[in-house]
Amino acid sequence: MIRIALYQPDIAGNTGTILRLAACLALTVDIIEPAGFDLSDRALKRAGMDYLEMAALKRHLDWSAFDAWRRSEGRRLVLFTTKATLSYADFVFRADDVVLFGRESAGVPGHVHDTADERVTIPMPGGGRSLNLAVSVAMAAGEAMRQLK
């Protein structure tokens, strides 16, 4: 099944919510450090509630360690970004995809953007700049699971 990767997440509450979602959907979350908060922070525990114990979480020391791991696993990297033109709803997900989301404050740097095998976006015809990270992850997970099951 797909994996969700968070690049240096900034907000403990979003990460906790994503871990809770992943636990419920039996997905693994990869966190690419450093995070903008202590991963043992009580806000993370508050948002994730008792689901954190059920969550499958893999921490990566930095981008290089994550990228080496995912390449060794032969996994395609799919970046969700506001800079893409292809809608995630028109994209064909594969079970071995790692779906990557950037920092709430800054997205991902250019070298990470360039490394992605595929880039997709969530269209926002209402004109907004971006969606909440946890909402975006939920939309991506839902679409990927719809396609794959």
CATH number, domain of 25, equals 3.40.1280.10
Instruction: Name the residue range of residue 13's domain.
Output: 3-148
pLDDT at 49: 66
What pLDDT, in 10s, does the model give residues 84-93?
999 999 999 9
Where residue 26 falls (left for φ over 0; alpha for ψ -120 to 50; beta otherwise) is left
Average model confidence (pLDDT) for the chain?
A: 93
- Strands, E assignment, the chain: 3-7, 28-32, 56-60, 77-80, 98-101, 118-120
More confident residue, 54 or 47: 54
pTM value is 0.94
What pLDDT, in 10s, does the model give residues 105-119?
999 999 999 999 999
Q: pLDDT class for 30, splitting at 50, 70, 90? A: very high
Number of domains in the chain: 1
SS3 at position 110: helix
pLDDT at 88: 98
Is the model's pLDDT at 52 over the cut of 90?
no
pLDDT at 43: 65
